[in-house]
Chains A and B, each alone.
Chain A
């Protein structure tokens, strides 16, 4: 039987605020346990939450970025369950009336096709603390620094049909939240966590199969592998005569498998009800205007503009708009060098390779946009060849100065003096009579040998075009 995969994602993205969603405690990552939790985060008796207005502003920016409805009135609700790292015994979230309603994003699939994925809703909520199971000799440690950290949970429609589509969607959301500055998207620090709802159904069947939920995946690679595993597992279960059990599963990256965490029967009844400590959030046009007035150009618009304005291929345009920093860098190089295509090649080629190798972000690049533009100008004006330019780039990366300084100090200036090149070529011809004979007998391949000799003799500095012309002339005798 042919099976179709159906995937929906819930993405928890941490909002980039200074303080927590309902208290004034700081949200900085990596502090000593329990040093960034105040009485409110600890759920002491008598404390009350007060909404941090900044989180609403950030949610509104997201809504605008995915063309979603913004609820004029949304309500915080309590999700009740007991867990040691949940201090109040309930999580403040949004249930029936979330702040962000239906929206959508477009993803570019590998074949270049564009697919629209629906976003059902996005709601604000507080994060829980962290249970630490190691190093406590049979006890569990509780760190409440994370408790009360603001999250935006973004829930998609079940619109994805393959693990690759799911990853493309997740990357798109990741790109958007970073573009509009509402989250740092740092996956190692847990600022971007994904849950995948996965089911399979026979091709052509309309009704969804029973789904399982894979919790808390924090890398795109793991997301793809976890879904892939889960799809195969479900098909095996069904084809083996069994049926899929609705349950929550965890992905174990070390074993590359998912395993059951709890079934539907064991699931909590969260007893959601409106939080009586918080008033409904009312959002008017003026607030939306203020929150979104400085929204940057979004990835899709930027991609289209790069394509038309700079004449870049869809592939390059997509690559160079991957992050705002990268796009800004490219535009700076393109503007300063006046050579957008060369700029695109250098940024997506040499620079990206070097960054990947050094595991650096574009913002940490030792070669700044003006430096790279300077290099490109020297290629353009013929001072150096493209090949020599790679050497210059490496030197600039190592901190040896700008392109002109490197060219000067390393003596890499291209030799364009026709006389000097002629003398050099005459010497080569004189030293290799056998090869000259072969060439003249019609074996044109030998031409490459002479070019190689010439470049070797000039240490790569001879202008390649001039070398070609003079060689051809002299060899024909």
Chain B
């Protein structure tokens, strides 16, 4: 069952080959048996999952079912879920239960999806290896000595290990695409504003976007169909019609213009990864696509710009965690200042504290113009690069990450090297563009991701382009040993 596509599962549920309760129990059993070695879940919501599955079976019986009815999924623990705790990977929210569902959670529940639990993540989504989680690192199902990537590492590992049919993720600088690449799955970060941010705990508001992590582009299309759309509770969500992503999957790629930015194939890119990307490009050539070399001249500035803008926003977004109304509070505070200082020092881990400090610095009097304002200007230049590129090409392709998964602990003492893992993904967040990572030929048995970047609101095209590759190749079907 765990290797079936969402379309197959949905068909089986309709034919009552098995019930949603049986399917849910099957996944819960796999989680109980296999997740102790991975640590991909923070919370498993067995009771509410089985209740939702029973409701889905009722709907299926009544013939009142959508494509996701009864399909077991998982939510990144950054999405608020009413009645199930939401930790955001932090000690700060160890016992936090939100009194509301995130819009994404609400929409998927309305579509009939069954939520198995909440997946592990870097604390407050700050990290590229899932090692900053207060609930312990997640292990890569392809090799437990390696990181799964981050920050949506729990969702990526759970999908790769077939512990759920699909999972939600969030992507602020590559947090869906990079772990998708490192775990050998498909992960799509939609256009900024495509999915509502209501109830999604904010890291950097102008960059955060919810997306889908699944085993294939087709599976991702089924889930994104239900997640996307305008939400009046999020002023930054886009009031743009949502096309049917499943309908567009099989469009022909003849004449598709693919841009390869020369900046994405230079120094720092692993030779094996480069070869895998080339092999995938060759497949596209065979499918009738036209390859064009392009340039994104400002892209080398994207990492420094990101590490000004994202910490600035996070320093303000995380100010609400003060120990006053909810969340971690230090024992026996002496006075107000002591309450603030110790609650926050104890509640936040080192990476979160580092980013709050950087963000506070770049916004402070005397430094604002030199850092924050300048970063915003360069951010515009980066977006302009893409705008020019999309006058020439339909999609842009390149590696998702510079190398395959690295060993646990390898980069924890070197934040800059860790930050450089997102060098190819960050620019799309700064520009607000959609991107997808799809598995291509592995290197030394480890997954490699091809990143495809599209123009604003062209998720349908990205899923189509990814799907057509998956139509003619089998890279996305490979399962890690022990999780088949």
Q: Decide if A204 is an interface residue (CB 8 Å cutoff).
A: no
A90 touches B316 (CB 8 A): yes
The A55-86 residues at the B interface (CB cut-off 8 A) are 78, 80, 82, 84
Q: Decide if A109 is an interface residue (CB 8 Å cutoff).
A: no
> Which chain A residues lie closer than 8 Å to B315 at the CB level?
80, 271
Q: Decide if A448 is an interface residue (CB 8 Å cutoff).
A: no
Q: How far is the CA of A273 from the CA of B315 in the complex (A)?
A: 11
Question: Which of B86, B205, B233 is in CB contact (< 8 Å) with A45?
Answer: B86
Give, as a whole number of angstroms, the nearest-CB distance from A3 to chain B: 32
A46 touches B198 (CB 8 A): yes
* A36-44, A401-409, A426-434 - interface stretch: A36-44
Question: Which of B98, B336, B364 is in CB contact (< 8 Å) with A84?
Answer: B336
Q: Decide if A49 is an interface residue (CB 8 Å cutoff).
A: yes
> Which chain A residues lie closer than 8 Å to B365 at the CB level?
269, 271
Q: How far is the CA of A259 from the CA of B454 in the complex (A)?
A: 61
* B32-40, B130-138, B160-168, B322-330 - interface stretch: B322-330
Contacts A90-B319, A276-B205 given; indicate if A84 touches B324 (C-beta within 8 A): yes
> Which chain B residues lie closer than 8 Å to A272 at the CB level?
363
Give, as a whole number of angstroms, the nearest-CB distance from B275 to chain A: 40
Q: How far is the CA of A46 from the CA of B198 in the complex (A)?
A: 6
Give, as a whole number of angstroms, the nearest-CB distance from A52 to chain B: 12
B316 touches A273 (CB 8 A): yes
B202 touches A50 (CB 8 A): no
A39 touches B320 (CB 8 A): no
B312 touches A44 (CB 8 A): no
Contacts A84-B336, A88-B320, A271-B363 given; indicate if A46 touches B102 (C-beta within 8 A): yes
Q: Decide if A28 is an interface residue (CB 8 Å cutoff).
A: no
Q: Decide if A142 is an interface residue (CB 8 Å cutoff).
A: yes
A49 touches B205 (CB 8 A): no
For the residues of A in contact with B, the DSSP-based class is: loop
> Which chain B residues lie closer than 8 Å to A90 at the CB level?
316, 319
Question: Which of A48, A80, A84, A269 is in CB contact (< 8 Å) with B234?
Answer: A48
Q: How far is the CA of A89 from the CA of B322 in the complex (A)?
A: 8
Q: Decide if B483 is an interface residue (CB 8 Å cutoff).
A: no
Q: Decide if B447 is an interface residue (CB 8 Å cutoff).
A: no
Contacts A48-B197, A49-B235, A51-B235 given; indicate if A273 touches B363 (C-beta within 8 A): yes
Q: How far is the CA of A272 from the CA of B369 in the complex (A)?
A: 12
A80 touches B363 (CB 8 A): yes
Q: Decide if B260 is an interface residue (CB 8 Å cutoff).
A: no
> Which chain A residues lie closer than 8 Å to B232 at the CB level?
50
A276 touches B236 (CB 8 A): yes
Name which residue of chain A comes closest to B344, CB basis: A82
Q: How far is the CA of A46 from the CA of B93 in the complex (A)?
A: 12
Q: How far is the CA of A39 from the CA of B235 in the complex (A)?
A: 16
Q: Decide if B419 is an interface residue (CB 8 Å cutoff).
A: no
The B172-225 residues at the A interface (CB cut-off 8 A) are 197-202, 204-206
Question: Which of B205, B313, B325 is in CB contact (< 8 Å) with A42?
Answer: B325
> Which chain A residues lie closer than 8 Å to B206 at the CB level?
276
Q: How far is the CA of A82 from the CA of B336 in the complex (A)?
A: 10
Q: Decide if A253 is an interface residue (CB 8 Å cutoff).
A: no
Name which residue of chain B comes closest to A76, CB basis: B235
- 9 closest residue pairs by CB, A with B: A89-B319, A276-B205, A271-B363, A276-B206, A46-B199, A43-B320, A45-B201, A46-B80, A46-B201
Can you report 13 A-B residue pairs in the complex whose CB atoms are below 8 A from each other?
A: A44-B100, A45-B320, A45-B321, A46-B79, A46-B100, A78-B316, A87-B324, A88-B319, A88-B320, A273-B372, A276-B313, A277-B236, A279-B235
